[in-house]
A and B are shown apart, each in its own frame.
Chain A
Amino acid sequence: MKALAAALLLLCTALIAKPATGVNDAAIAAEGYPAHLSDYRFFTDLEAATPAARVEPYTLNTPLFSDYAEKHRYLYVPQGTRARYDAENIFDFPVGTALIKTFGYRQNGRFRPLETRLLLHRAGGWVAIPYVWNAQGTDADLKRAGTRIPVTFTDPSGQSQSISYAVPNQNQCKDCHARAGAITPIGPLARQLNHDGLLQRLAAAGLLDRAPRDAPRLARWDDPKAPLESRARAYLEANCAHCHNPQGAASNSGLYLDWRQPSPGFLKRPVAAGRGSGARAFDIVPGDADASILIFRMESTDPGIAMPELGRATVHAEGVALLRKWIDTQPKGSAVR
């Protein structure tokens, strides 16, 4: 029986295995979850993060704040296929696509990866899985249940911060990435990728079918030259709207913060905020950031209060400052919803 099992295992391995060059398409497509990040062969040199063929780095105009972690993003689209451009929604990615996102911090000037999250497009839909890097930084191991890692880093103001960094579990991935129950990417939108010729580069690399010149563009939240309104709305879009939309995890709150809302949360009463209300009556009080629940929850790190609920052990001081300024400059009493 033992020998038979071993023979079966060999047979299975032989069926799945391919020459060990290029990305391991079978690992992306097959059921189950490979034990190590290296199994996917997204990088020809994993430690140095040298991308394999058809693995392209990308950045977003306005990313989600995650405890000041530095994020390195890559897109892989299999040979012979291309993602279909969409001006408004997430691109139509072919089955076999992988989105790879490594989170880490600079320690003594050198990037130290903590975790890599994968979004894999399988025949049955997208799956999200976290991998946690080993102490040597040579590979990352599957961690479906998530974990916590003590981290000390220097924030943009020069202050040293020590936090318990949370690697999300697989279900928590879904908290942010689910639309009406199905997992979907959040970032790769035309308006997020439209900067510095990135769309054109992805098209030239054969990962994207086209890169229209008139693609929409989301403001960079930290671009001092962009209008305050655009920056604030971009921040809400990237940090809140993945849950706060009619099909997201916060649908029952009735607070929608996506870019389509004309005056999001203005004079809207909370529904299930509990002590997250901070004794304030409305989500956003135009002209009065101090009276706005949104600011109260952004400024808290208490898990019963803090928003977003996941991945925020620190306050994003720069983001809070932006939204405070935006709320304070709204005309008082505007737009009762």
Chain B
Amino acid sequence: MFRAIVPWAALAALFLALPAAARTIHVEAGPNAQERLQAALIEAVPGDVVEIGAGRFDLTDGLSLDVDRVTVRGAGPAKTILSFKGQLGAGEGLLVTSDDVVLRSFAVEDSRGDGIKSKGADRIVYKDIRVEWTGGPKPTNGAYGVYPVESKFILIDGVTVIGASDAGIYVGQSEQIVVRNSVAQGNVAGIEIENSRHADVYGNTATHNTGGILVFDLPSLPVMGGGQVRVFGNSVIDNDTANFAPPGNIVASVRKGTGVLIMANDGVHVFGNTLSGNATSNIMVISYRQAFTDPRYNPYPRRIVISGNTHGRAGFAPQFPAGDQLAAAFGGSIPPILWDGTGGPELGLHVDDKVPVLSLNLALAAPVESAKPALATLSAPESPKPQPVVLPESMEAAAK
């Protein structure tokens, strides 16, 4: 009798233990990687870790993950390489549509569309990830490197994106966002916060993009009213790549040599950054310059504070009509902060940096050709600083 009971108890314990115990599913490089890796991502259950071995994985289709609380971990962004050079289908390299996912220590290369997209994926962590188009800046590269959208709580930490034909690190229609300690290089837009609220962008390097860090709102989207953004302690240097975005996209209008661009947003504070080598401007504050009909949309920058930034050389080859003449008139370079001059004191624009501000004195949506450039003082009362973004502890722990 006793002998019969023991295995039953063991079995029962096994059954009880199974759902709770987190498993690690190993996937190694080699033949049939597509099916093996995708199968692991489908068969994972909440709590599991999908561990991708070192090596190159040649993939033919986009991968996707739709299970909550799964960690996908590689051997390092230089060691575990998911290559989509031979991709035949799907709009991105990896798509995540579940919550509490951690993506860590791997690279996505040469996806035909976006690199990694997460949609409606709350509390997602991107840590030590590299997304790269290896052939240099080309309009045939995918649009976004990392692309979280329609999500709440996003952490992008130690991520590198190179060569995106739209934005390297793009966060859209989301809230409670941290982008930190990351590198965006050789993209059209380095880091872009679009139609989003409550974002901290700090400790990043944006270099050799067309534009470094962009914060803006676009009309006619399900989520609008972006704002409450802090951009601080970043290096925004030598953004000198010619714009290679396919025309038709908003970033195709970004001028080469833009450091930080704030457009149609509310409550953006830019402070303590190091900016230099941006030929058009270190910091631009502008309104949305195209026609729109969306009555919910506010095209103006509002309650913007620029303070305590370190400005190196800027404005030495401004990329707009008659920019070179303007630079010459200012003795070789225009002031490092540029405002389109649309709107008045009611916008609450406040600049504390010890550098001059150039206004183009443009009417709303008027062509740049109608500019009447003049120095401006932006001294509206300083709007309250946005609260720091506080992420759930589980996210910070996952990024340790």
Query: Contact residues of A with B, CB < 8 Å?
Result: 1, 4, 144-148, 164, 166, 169-172, 174-175, 178, 181, 246, 249, 251-252, 254, 268-282, 293, 302-305, 309-310, 313, 336-337
Contacts and interface: CB of A to CB of B under 8 A. Distances in A.
Given A252-B173, A310-B89, A169 B293 contact: no
Contact of A252 (B35, B64, B91, B119): B119
25 contacts: A145-B38, A145-B39, A148-B88, A169-B61, A171-B65, A171-B97, A172-B90, A251-B222, A252-B149, A252-B223, A254-B220, A272-B170, A273-B249, A274-B165, A275-B143, A275-B165, A275-B246, A279-B248, A280-B247, A303-B88, A303-B89, A304-B112, A305-B113, A309-B89, A309-B90
A145 B35 contact: yes
A252 B92 CA distance: 15
B42 A171 contact: yes
A337 B291 CA distance: 11
Given A166-B61, A171-B95, A274 B43 contact: no
Contacts of B144: 272, 274
B175 interface: no
B218 interface: yes
B370 interface: no
B255 to A, nearest CB: 18
Interface in B128-187: 139-144, 147, 149-150, 165-166, 170, 172-173
A254 B222 contact: yes
Contacts of A170: 42, 66
B149 A279 contact: no
A276 B142 CA distance: 9
Interface of B: 7, 11, 34-36, 38-39, 41-43, 60-62, 64-66, 87-91, 95, 97, 111-114, 119-120, 139-144, 147, 149-150, 165-166, 170, 172-173, 218, 220-223, 246-250, 290, 293
B222 A269 contact: no
A309 B111 CA distance: 14
Nearest to B67: A171
Q: Which 6 A-B pairs have the closest CB atoms?
A: A274-B143, A277-B248, A304-B112, A171-B64, A145-B39, A304-B113
Of residues B7, B62, B89, which shows the largest number of chain A Cβ atoms within 10 Å of its Cβ?
B89
Contacts of B222: 246, 251-252, 254
Contact of B64 (A169, A269, A270): A169
A271 B142 CA distance: 14
A270 B139 CA distance: 16
Contact of B120 (A4, A181, A310): A181
Main secondary structure on chain A at its contact with chain B?
Answer: loop
Nearest to A302: B112
Nearest to B150: A252
B113 A274 contact: yes
Contacts of A172: 64, 90
Contact of B248 (A1, A178, A273, A302): A273
Contacts of B218: 269, 271
B88 A313 contact: yes
Contact of A273 (B36, B43, B143): B143
A187 to B, nearest CB: 22
B221 A254 contact: yes
A65 to B, nearest CB: 15
A148 B142 contact: no
